[in-house]
Amino acid sequence: MRRIFELIGPPLLVLVIILGLWSLAVRLLGIPAFVLPSPEQVFETAIIESDRLMSGFRNTLVASTVGLLAATVVGVLGAIILSTSRVLERALYPWAVVLQTVPVVALAPLFVLWVGPGFVSVVLVAFIIALFPILANTLMGLVSTDPALIDLLRMQGAGRAAIFRKIRLPNSLPYFFTGMRISAGLAVIGTIVGEMVVGRGGEKAGLGYYVVFSATQLKTDFVFATIIVSTGLGIAFFLAMVGLSSLVMGRWHESELRPST
Amino acid sequence: MTANQAAHTVDIFIYESNVGHAIEKVVVTDSDIRSDRIRVAIRDLEKRFSKDVVALRGINLDVQEGEFVSLVGPSGCGKSTLLKLVAELDYPTSGNVARPGIADLPGSIGFVFQDAHLLPWRTVHRNVELLLEIQNLSVNERHRRAKEALAHVGLEGFEDAYPRQLSGGMKMRVSLARTLVLNPQLFLLDEPFGALDEITREKLNDDLVELTRSSGLTTLFVTHSVSEAVYLSNRVVVISDRPGTIVDEISVPFNERHRSLRNTQEFVNTCAVVTEMLYRGMEK
Ligand SMILES: Nc1ncnc2c1ncn2[C@@H]1O[C@H](COP(=O)(O)OP(=O)(O)OP(=O)(O)O)[C@@H](O)[C@H]1O
Ligand SMILES: [Mg+2]
């Protein structure tokens, strides 16, 4: 209990100080609410708009999850395929790097042309942004195996399948989860960006949609409330990945479970 | 037979924690190597990695059944390469390696590397089972053999530990056990104790003498250490600087191995002879 307090105490204190200064500045300087609302106002709006925030949260959560799952499936399968052949890796991996550097937001209008605005387009943006870290890290884990161990297994007549199952796959797990931690955050960002650009309003509106929608109406307090909820979602995704990785990897390689940053 | 002799030796497997105890150990070595039975025959072996890098040249070497042969030589002279060629992990540029009487089957060659190379995600027991899983053994048989091998290297009670919980010496023992479960006919070790402190190393030397002599295991052992080579071997082969050629070899004149052997004049003299050969190989 004491340890927990020591851990979250200092940052919490900083938060309180910042909120205090913020509130004070807004009052003393007479900043108009559409430029910078006070924290109390943001809080109030969050309560009033809690229905829309909740449904936005749900919609963004669903789109992020679907995008991340798709990126995981494609990323892992892609990494496995690339890891089986040096030629394939040489031919395809550079394109994965190129794909990563294409500004996805610029692609978004194309998605709209192809599948129309809304859920599928949003998920596509999240998927593309989240794909690369999973693919790259898993691939790294699959190929960066101890050559001596592979020699050892070969000497006992082990084939590629056995080496894959006993060495490559387990070896790639920590790398995979490193990728997942990065991609989880990116999937949320991708979803929100997607919602801002190709999202739709109404019942299916996500948090990104509400950011744009309320900004154009100068409801800056609502913008802030949405940003805070979005941040919460991002953190939740990250923590879920940390939890999942320690659940799966359990007792081995504790050092690799800790985020490096 | 040697196996029976060895069965009468004092139990030499001690736990890490017993290092401090000065236990005088007596190990009887093999004195009846059957020189008529060649198990490794290396002929005119050459290995070049590129035009300029000739790792080995003109290597001729026979190893008899039950014989323990050490290869010593300066770093980069091709010792590891030679071992890999014997294990067929790599192929010679010319010449050949024959292994008469060693079955061409998985498991007939046991290889131990300089580092333990354990799987961090497996327990000690499961690490030892790794190579058995490749063979089609029943789960029970696998389990039994792994348990036996772990007892053999003095690691009972550590079955469920993970590699990161072990000391360097214990990891090496796991690595030895992982190979010993295969009941290999030919045992190849590439500087297995190079990274260990001296006391652990000497203890593992005694264990290795016992393990190999008790089963009459034909062994090729690579090391940097002259005294380790002399202590362990029936024969020490000295390899020259690159390109590696055989400078000379010496039959080790001792029949018994025990701790005080290292202090005898004869042991010191033998080491001096080997060191002399090493210098000859570096000046060529
Ligand atoms: N796969 C390889 N490709 C190119 N050169 C190699 C390869 N393996 C070894 N060599 C070269 O062959 C020579 C012998 O290497 P090797 O590893 O057999 O030496 P070593 O005697 O085992 O050395 P050490 O005692 O340091 O382990 C070295 O010069 C090394 O650079
Ligand atoms: Mg070497």
Q: What residues in chain A have their Cβ under 8 A from chain B's Cβ atoms?
A: 146, 148-149, 151-158, 162, 166-167, 170, 173, 249, 251-253
Tell me the pLDDT tens digit for each residue of A28-49: 998 888 888 888 888 988 899 8
Give the pLDDT score at B187.
93
Protein residue with least CA distance to atom 7, ligand 1: B49
To test the pocket of ligand 1, the residue of B51, B56, B80, B225 to mutate (highest count of ligand atoms within 8 Å of its CB) is B80
Question: pLDDT digit string (tens) for A203-250?
Answer: 888 899 999 998 898 889 899 999 999 999 999 999 999 899 888 887
Confidence of residue B21 (pLDDT cuts 50, 70, 90): very low
Percent of chain B with pLDDT over 70: 87
Asked whether residue B12 carries a pLDDT value surpassing 50, the answer given is: no
Burial class (CB in 10 A: 0-12, 13-18, 19+), A215: middle
- The CB of B84 under 6 Å from ligand 1? The reply is no
**Higher-pLDDT residue of B250, A256:** B250
Report the number of distinct structural domains present in chain A: 1
More confident residue, A213 or B26: A213
What pLDDT digit, counting tens, does each position of B247-268 carry? Answer: 999 998 888 888 888 889 999 9
What is the C-alpha separation between B128 and B112, in angstroms, rounded?
Answer: 13
- What's the pLDDT score for residue B124? 94
CB-side neighbour CA atoms (13 Å) of A202 = 6
* Dihedral sign from CA coordinates of A18, A24, A28, A34: positive
Residue B20 scores a pLDDT above 50:
no
Q: Quick one: average pLDDT of A56-76?
A: 96
B247-283 in b/e form (b: 16+ CB < 10 A) is bbbbebebeebbbeeeeeeebeebbeebeebbeebee
Q: Would A38 be classed as within a structural domain?
A: no
Contact A149 B119 (CB under 8 A): yes
Per-residue confidence band for B86, with pLDDT thresholds at 50, 70 and 90: very high
- For the cut 50, the answer to whether the pLDDT of residue B3 exceeds it is no
Domain residue ranges of chain B, discontinuous segments joined by +: 120-181
Across chain B, mean pLDDT equals 84
Would you place residue A1 in the very low, low, confident or very high pLDDT band (cuts 50, 70, 90)? low
Say if residue B4's pLDDT is above 70: no
Report the percent of chain B where pLDDT is more than 90. 52
Q: Dihedral angle at the C-alpha atoms of B209, B211, B215, B220, nearest 10 degrees?
A: -60
- The four Cα atoms B222, B23, B176, B183 give a dihedral, to 10 degrees, of 100
Distance, CA B55 to ligand 1 centroid (Å)?
Answer: 7
How does pLDDT run across B72-83, given as a tens digit for each residue?
A: 999 989 999 999
Tokens 């692609």 label which residue? A107
**pLDDT at residue A184 in the model:** 94
Q: What pLDDT sits at residue B44? A: 92
**Above 50 in pLDDT, residue B11?**
no
What is the three-state SS of chain A?
CHHHHHHHHHHHHHHHHHHHHHHHHHHHHCCCCCCCCCHHHHHHHHHHCHHHHHHHHHHHHHHHHHHHHHHHHHHHHHHHHHHHCHHHHHHHHHHHHHHHHCCHHHHHHHHHHHHCCCHHHHHHHHHHHHHHHHHHHHHHHHHCCCHHHHHHHHHCCCCHHHHHHHHHHHHHHHHHHHHHHHHHHHHHHHHHHHHHHHCCCHHHCCHHHHHHHHHHCCCHHHHHHHHHHHHHHHHHHHHHHHHHHHHHHCCCCHHHHCCCC
Across-strand partners of B218? B186
The minimal CB distance from B134 to the residues A146, A151, A157 is found for A157
DSSP B179: H
Q: How many residues comprise chain B?
A: 284
Instruction: Kindly state whether residue A137 falls inside one of the protein's structural domains.
Output: yes
The pLDDT assigned to A93 comes to 85
pLDDT at B25 over 60: no
Beta bridge partners of B258: B26
CA-based nearest residue to A183, from A134, A229, A250, A253: A134
Of the listed ranges A178-187, B9-18, B99-108, the least confidently predicted one is B9-18
Greatest mean pLDDT among A134-143, B97-106, B147-156, B202-211 lies in A134-143
Which residue bears the tokens 């652990």? B200
CATH of the domain at A133: 1.10.3720.10
Q: Hunting for tokens 């052992």 — which residue is that?
A: B221
In this structure, is residue A117 part of a structural domain? Answer: yes
Q: Is the pLDDT of residue A258 over 60?
A: no
Q: What digits encode the pLDDT tens for the residues B181-202? A: 988 999 999 999 888 888 888 8
Pick the residue with more confidence: A172 or A200? A172
pLDDT given at position A255:
44
Residue B109 tokens, joined: 């060659």
Q: pLDDT tens for residues B162-186?
A: 998 899 889 999 999 999 898 899 9
Residue A253: which pLDDT band, with cuts at 50, 70 and 90?
low
First to last CA, chain B: 42
**How buried is residue A246: exposed, middle or buried, by Cβ count under 10 Å (0-12/13-18/19+)?**
middle
- Cross-chain residue pair A149–B106, CB shorter than 8 Å: no
Looking at every residue in chain A, the average pLDDT score rounds to 88
Query: Residue A46: its pLDDT value, please?
Result: 87
Domain ranges, residue A180: 58-246
At B129, is the pLDDT very low, low, confident or very high (cuts 50, 70, 90)?
very high
- Residue B284 confidence (pLDDT): 63
pLDDT greater than 90 at residue A183: yes
The two beta strands, B186-190 and B109-112, are parallel
* Residue B216: closest CA among B31, B66, B93: B66
Q: Is residue B26's pLDDT more than 80?
A: no
> What is the atom index within ligand 1 of the atom nearest the CA of B90?
1
- Which ligand is located closest to the Cα atom of residue B244? 1
Q: Which two tokens stand for residue B178?
A: 């992982």
Q: Encoding tokens for residue B163?
A: 């590699």
Q: How far apart are the first and last CA of chain A?
A: 25
Determine whether the interchain pair A155/B106 forms a contact, defined as Cβ–Cβ distance below 8 Å.
Answer: yes
* pLDDT tens for each residue of B43-55: 999 999 998 899 9
The complex's ipTM works out to 0.77
- CA–chain centroid gap for B231, Å, is 12
